[in-house]
Amino acid sequence: MPLTPEQFAEIEALRAAPRPTLRAVSEGMEAHLYRAHEVLDHGFVRVIDYMGDDAAIVQAARVSYGAGTKHVSNDEGLIRYLMRHWHSTPFEMCEIKLHVKLPVFVARQWIRHRTANVNEYSARYSILDREFYIPAPEALAAQSTVNNQGRGALLQGEEAARVLEILKGDAARCYDHYEQMLSQEGQQGLARELARMNLPMNVYTQWYWKTDLHNLFHFLRLRGDVHAQYEIRVYAEAIGRIVKDWVPLAWKAFEDYRLGGVTLSAKAVDCLRRRLAGQEVTQETSGMSKGEWREFAAVWGE
Amino acid sequence: MPLTPEQFAEIEALRAAPRPTLRAVSEGMEAHLYRAHEVLDHGFVRVIDYMGDDAAIVQAARVSYGAGTKHVSNDEGLIRYLMRHWHSTPFEMCEIKLHVKLPVFVARQWIRHRTANVNEYSARYSILDREFYIPAPEALAAQSTVNNQGRGALLQGEEAARVLEILKGDAARCYDHYEQMLSQEGQQGLARELARMNLPMNVYTQWYWKTDLHNLFHFLRLRGDVHAQYEIRVYAEAIGRIVKDWVPLAWKAFEDYRLGGVTLSAKAVDCLRRRLAGQEVTQETSGMSKGEWREFAAVWGE
Amino acid sequence: MPLTPEQFAEIEALRAAPRPTLRAVSEGMEAHLYRAHEVLDHGFVRVIDYMGDDAAIVQAARVSYGAGTKHVSNDEGLIRYLMRHWHSTPFEMCEIKLHVKLPVFVARQWIRHRTANVNEYSARYSILDREFYIPAPEALAAQSTVNNQGRGALLQGEEAARVLEILKGDAARCYDHYEQMLSQEGQQGLARELARMNLPMNVYTQWYWKTDLHNLFHFLRLRGDVHAQYEIRVYAEAIGRIVKDWVPLAWKAFEDYRLGGVTLSAKAVDCLRRRLAGQEVTQETSGMSKGEWREFAAVWGE
Amino acid sequence: MPLTPEQFAEIEALRAAPRPTLRAVSEGMEAHLYRAHEVLDHGFVRVIDYMGDDAAIVQAARVSYGAGTKHVSNDEGLIRYLMRHWHSTPFEMCEIKLHVKLPVFVARQWIRHRTANVNEYSARYSILDREFYIPAPEALAAQSTVNNQGRGALLQGEEAARVLEILKGDAARCYDHYEQMLSQEGQQGLARELARMNLPMNVYTQWYWKTDLHNLFHFLRLRGDVHAQYEIRVYAEAIGRIVKDWVPLAWKAFEDYRLGGVTLSAKAVDCLRRRLAGQEVTQETSGMSKGEWREFAAVWGE
């Protein structure tokens, strides 16, 4: 359980004190505010603040396009139009601020998304908690034999047990040593900024992370993808469920055009056209490499 | 007067409908929401939305620094500490969205601040209004004789009258021609994306502009500076008055460390140290160029 | 002709002085260095500097993926793989610096691409030249009757003549007045930063513009698109021809996956699958709006 | 020694093959290309590519300011002027690409500088080497007793020995376990993307890192500062020595205005003025907090 009773009480106190505002309010998002959505064994995602809603996207687009947008009959149609034509700036007009607790190796992937604001807990300044990510049995996977960058079947029996024992044992020992090195009893005590380097990368850290909706969608598309590492994908999925309640129309357009969408190369367009015209197309006649064809056939059949 | 009665009514309607929120609320900012702060002859700045307050800055910093920050006695002290040490990320946790109406030549300077989100009224899509910036007498200045990039004394008498006549006449004529070219009566009508090129750069445009507090402070420091062009400085000043009500502690720190602050080069530090030790320092003995010395002496005396 | 004889001589002098370097060299790009590619009536694009080549993209990817990438048989295959899977960071390892002369209304669209470095000629500091974009007959188009943001048929006969007369006349008169206001003969002379506001937006400006290859591709895709305004599209096309010589493998992948590629929504994927299975699909049974269907049918037929 | 004989040979081969280019060439930088500058026990910094030199900064500024800049007598004066007045865009016209090998905990600080391009070695895809940062005796410091975020005296005798033993032992054991979990002999072998989480944060990673000179100076100022952690400061210092050879005029201005410069708050300016006028100023009469006064007095005396 990632939260302490004190933290639960603090959240309930924050949720008990609504105040009037003249800003755009998303009812769906108000229901999420401050609450912790648990992810992995000790992680969470919490919405700390947000700006805007579906209407704010439309409003920004109407500034851009002026009265001319009036004949797009409704908000949903306009939002779908913007998403379809990659008009990203109206989506940038919504902003979200999250409090996330996550393992360091996940944080290292996450931070690669540069268009965001971050305040991370400082292990130079403070002492990290004794919390490490240990995969559940259904996440303990072998190296894929076909994909250098993926997982294959789940580990079984003794091998699984051995791995868990290693991960738990090393985490515990490294953390014990971290504390011993820091200790000032009978010794000077190593600097925190040095001692932290002894902790393995499954230790949990936390940060405030703030980004706009356009960049969040980009993050969700890449990190929610089936090729993303499971341990970051579950964060993307948890955030996705929040976004769905925040901006339901934008989410629906995102699902249709990005999550469920497919990008075709010129060659793939040509192959599909030939098929639609009744011709047979094989890898040999497609002009694609074997890798491209494999990906093409996975969607459209051999 | 930049707003129509319909726009005033729309603003009042928006302000008449407070809704409950669990988010951070800045009372000072709520008083500004949607209202138009007039700038120049037809321009304005309006707050459309905001995220965070002084407490949000502190909260983000405490995530970074953990319990260790508790012995900075209070929020104001911590905010001053962050500003003094250029810790910019906590300030990035606040966000503002403005609706701005401004002349195109001002917009061209403004847009150089890249870390912001913008939706500008599109003159490809829509027709611009007949509104042009014509300087008031107290802004109608001659070229500076000492600064290639600045203004000198005010224009007087006939010269001032001649300039105003030119600016008004050319704006009116160009706009008349813009309408004639667009007209579809008895002719096809030129494409809007082409016709707009006939408008002079004092025509007004408008946009939604969204940025975080750190980048806003950077904008306000550069564009509110005495060397900035008057026509953008008045926007920076209007925004500054809004920010002061939004995050009063952060504003005070910004005033002390940035607006009222001074940056000294190593050479300047050395000169001041010598003076404090009772030595006389002149341009010749300072190691500075004439230009540097002039700037130094303007603050510290010859 | 956009260049003066002095400028031609300067370019030839720069091109006459090769120096040895240990950096990656792209022969295709060396042939372009400093030379002006003419665009529109007075504009140009010149390569001032570049960093990297196709091999640099591969090299950066191999740092990321280590020895594992070796079994992608060759550079072209790896570059295509990176493009297909939206791995943008290796493309960011190439950089280009251009000198561009362009009308102000084109510059205003261009600058919306924020991930770039820009140094623009300052009309606060200096005096702009008497050069204005006047469309050639084949670019003088009417407003589209179906697209709010596009052009229709070319203007003909008297209407075309009238428009050209207006554009030329207003440009000349505004520039004459610009000079009169600036003049210090018998008067003070208006500040340059004010006088410039009298110039229409087809006046030419110039800038140094520097960006990485990933962001350049994004620019070329959006601004080289058939829906982009003709006056910026011709710049994108000129740059595209340069990029093709600079990084031929990356350009080929970009052409196949981006320029010639198509993005399908989940609904469109479903429609194509049904068609491939021999079913008929109409707008009514597609689940798409009329607008979406129109765009779908334009590629795949009714 | 961070490089293998094969790597040395590869560097020498790259350095043995100069090619002609028409681009700007910095002789000082050519001498650095590809060579590894050793940092810490296994780390290095290598220049892979660069764009521009001191003259490129001046050239970009002259585009901005046109002929008007001619009366700044020389390049050095103009570069100093740009640095003094925070004109950052001309410095952005130079670019550098580095290959860096560094411990993960250093990489986590480094990556917070967002305006850069990065390709990091992927531990999802490849297997990390058995290389860990173990502090030299002169870097093995105790926690500071006055600064939550800093180091105090060096550890001595048995405590120092104990810490080194822990760091070495845990690194070795964790890496052994990493290999055991990955092994496919007699077992499936854990996925690389999971196994890596068992490695402590002093393990070395490597990346290609590319940024412009303005953002590099910002990095060097913050990370080369006396308050930065020693383990990143040594990288900043190594890069600083390279930059000095690359753009000597810009480096000199950076040293004078940034590294050796001091920023004064309005209150501090007031205190100095009073002292220059012969008055005594103490913390009580300064208007500063104790913390501010301590920092002020460290530069200007009590």
Comparing CA positions, the residue from A233, A176, A227, A217 lying closest to residue A200 is: A176
Indicate if A218 and A146 belong to the same structural domain.
Answer: no
| Mean pLDDT, residues A56-66 | 83
* Residue C122 confidence (pLDDT): 93
A84-125: pLDDT as tens digits: 999 999 999 999 999 999 999 999 999 999 999 999 999 999
Indicate if B221 and B294 belong to the same structural domain.
Answer: no
C157-178: pLDDT as tens digits: 999 999 999 999 999 999 999 9
Partner D contacted by B66 (CB < 8 A): no
A:B CB pairs within 8 Å: 150
Taking a C-beta distance cutoff of 8 angstroms, is the pair B101, B42 a contact?
yes
B2-12: pLDDT as tens digits: 688 888 899 99
Q: What are phi and psi of D107, to 5 degrees?
A: -60, -35
Closest Cα in chain C, distance from residue D284 (Å): 46
What region does C84 belong to: left with phi over 0, alpha with psi -120 to 50, or beta? alpha
Partner C contacted by B146 (CB < 8 A): no
Residue B293's alpha-carbon distances to B151, B166, B264, B271, B299, in angstroms, are: 22, 41, 12, 10, 10
Closest Cα in chain D, distance from residue B171 (Å): 27
Chain A interface, best mutation among D121, D138, D197, D223, by max A CB count within 10 A: D197
Structural domain boundaries, residue A52: 5-133+203-259
Kindly report the CA angle at C72 between C68 and C77, in degrees rounded to 5?
140
Contact A190 D144 (CB under 8 A): no
Indicate if C33 and C10 belong to the same structural domain.
Answer: yes
| Mean pLDDT, residues B174-186 | 97
- pLDDT for residue B291 is more than 70: yes
Partner B contacted by D264 (CB < 8 A): yes
Contact D276 B273 (CB under 8 A): no
**Residue of chain C with shortest Cα separation from B158:** C187
Contacts of B193 (CB under 8 A, 6+ apart): B123, B124, C149, C150, C151, C229
* Residue A62 confidence (pLDDT): 86
| Mean pLDDT, residues C243-267 | 96
Question: How many Cα atoms occupy the beta-carbon half-sphere of C262 within 13 Å?
Answer: 20
Chain B interface, best mutation among A12, A23, A87, A205, by max B CB count within 10 A: A23
Chain-centroid distance of CA A261 in Å reads 18
Indicate if A150 and A25 belong to the same structural domain.
Answer: no
Chain-centroid distance of CA B178 in Å reads 30
* SS3 state at D11: helix
H/E element, D239: helix D230-246
Comparing CA positions, the residue from A25, A28, A19 lying closest to residue A245 is: A28
What is the rounded CA–CA span in Å between residue A53 and residue A250? 9
B99 — pLDDT class (breaks 50, 70, 90): very high
Partner C contacted by A168 (CB < 8 A): no
Indicate if C242 and C277 belong to the same structural domain.
Answer: no
D68 — pLDDT class (breaks 50, 70, 90): very low
Contact D117 C51 (CB under 8 A): no
* Residue B79 confidence (pLDDT): 95
* Residue B147 confidence (pLDDT): 82
Strand partners, B262: D264
Mean of pLDDT over chain A: 94
Taking a C-beta distance cutoff of 8 angstroms, is the pair A63, B119 a contact?
yes
Chain A interface, best mutation among C114, C144, C265, by max A CB count within 10 A: C265
Highest mean pLDDT among A69-78, D68-77, D128-137: D128-137
Q: How many residues does chain A have?
A: 302
D12-49: pLDDT as tens digits: 999 999 999 999 999 999 999 999 999 999 999 999 99
* Residue C73 confidence (pLDDT): 63
- pLDDT for residue A132 is more than 60: yes
Domain C-terminal end among D151, D175, D201 = D201
Indicate if B63 and B115 belong to the same structural domain.
Answer: yes
Closest Cα in chain C, distance from residue B237 (Å): 19
From the candidates B223, B233, B273, B275, which is the catalytic residue?
B223
Q: Catalogue the active-site residues of A.
A: 223
Taking a C-beta distance cutoff of 8 angstroms, is the pair A242, A45 a contact?
yes
**Nearest-CB residue to B142 (from C162, C166, C188):** C188
Indicate if A111 and A223 belong to the same structural domain.
Answer: yes
28-47 in chain C: CB under 8 A from chain A: none
Chain-centroid distance of CA A155 in Å reads 25
| Mean pLDDT, residues A184-198 | 97
Domain C-terminal end among D201, D226, D248 = D201
Highest mean pLDDT among A51-55, B261-265, B293-297: A51-55
Kindly report the CA angle at D200 between D198 and D202, in degrees rounded to 5?
150
Tell me what ipTM this predicted complex has.
0.94
Q: Give the DSSP per-residue string, A226-264.
A: TTS-HHHHHHHHHHHHHHHHHSHHHHHHHIIIIIS-EEE
What is the rounded CA–CA span in Å between residue D99 and residue D48? 6
What is the rounded CA–CA span in Å between residue D144 and residue D155? 12
| Mean pLDDT, residues A24-34 | 97
- pLDDT for residue A1 is more than 90: no
Kindly report the pTM of this predicted structure: 0.96
Partner A contacted by D246 (CB < 8 A): no
**Nearest-CB residue to A265 (from C260, C272, C275):** C260
C276-302: pLDDT as tens digits: 999 999 999 999 999 899 999 999 998
Indicate if D118 and D45 belong to the same structural domain.
Answer: yes
Taking a C-beta distance cutoff of 8 angstroms, is the pair B96, B208 a contact?
no
Total number of domains in chain B: 3
Highest mean pLDDT among B290-294, C123-127, D228-232: D228-232
Comparing CA positions, the residue from C239, C238, C240 lying closest to residue C254 is: C240
Residues of B in contact with A33 (CB under 8 A): 22-23
Chain-centroid distance of CA D255 in Å reads 15
CATH number of the domain residue C89 falls in: 3.30.1360.170
What is the rounded CA–CA span in Å between residue B261 and residue D258? 15
C62 — pLDDT class (breaks 50, 70, 90): confident
Comparing CA positions, the residue from B123, B128, B132, B152 lying closest to residue B140 is: B152
Partner C contacted by D118 (CB < 8 A): yes
* Residue B66 confidence (pLDDT): 58
Comparing CA positions, the residue from B197, B75, D205 lying closest to residue C230 is: B197
Mean of pLDDT over chain B: 94
Contact D64 C18 (CB under 8 A): no
What is the rounded CA–CA span in Å between residue B268 and residue B273? 9
Spell out a b/e string for B226-260, using b for 16 or more CB atoms within 10 Å of the CB, else e: eebbbbbbbbbebbbebbebbbebbbbbbbbbbee
Closest Cα in chain D, distance from residue A226 (Å): 15
- pLDDT for residue B256 is more than 80: yes
Indicate if B217 and B116 belong to the same structural domain.
Answer: yes
Q: Which two tokens stand for residue C101?
A: 């002369």
Give me the torsion for CA of A91, A93, A97, A101, rounded to 10°.
20
Comparing CA positions, the residue from A168, A137, A133 lying closest to residue A38 is: A133
Indicate if B148 and B280 belong to the same structural domain.
Answer: no
Spell out a b/e string for D119-146, using b for 16 or more CB atoms within 10 Å of the CB, else e: bbbbbbbbebeebbbbbeeebbbbbeee
- pLDDT for residue D155 is more than 80: yes
Residue reference for tokens 């042939």: C31
* SS3 state at B189: coil
Domain C-terminal end among C178, C201, C224 = C201
H/E element, D83: helix D75-84
| Mean pLDDT, residues C250-277 | 95
Indicate if D275 and D190 belong to the same structural domain.
Answer: no
- pLDDT for residue D70 is more than 60: no
Indicate if C73 and C125 belong to the same structural domain.
Answer: yes
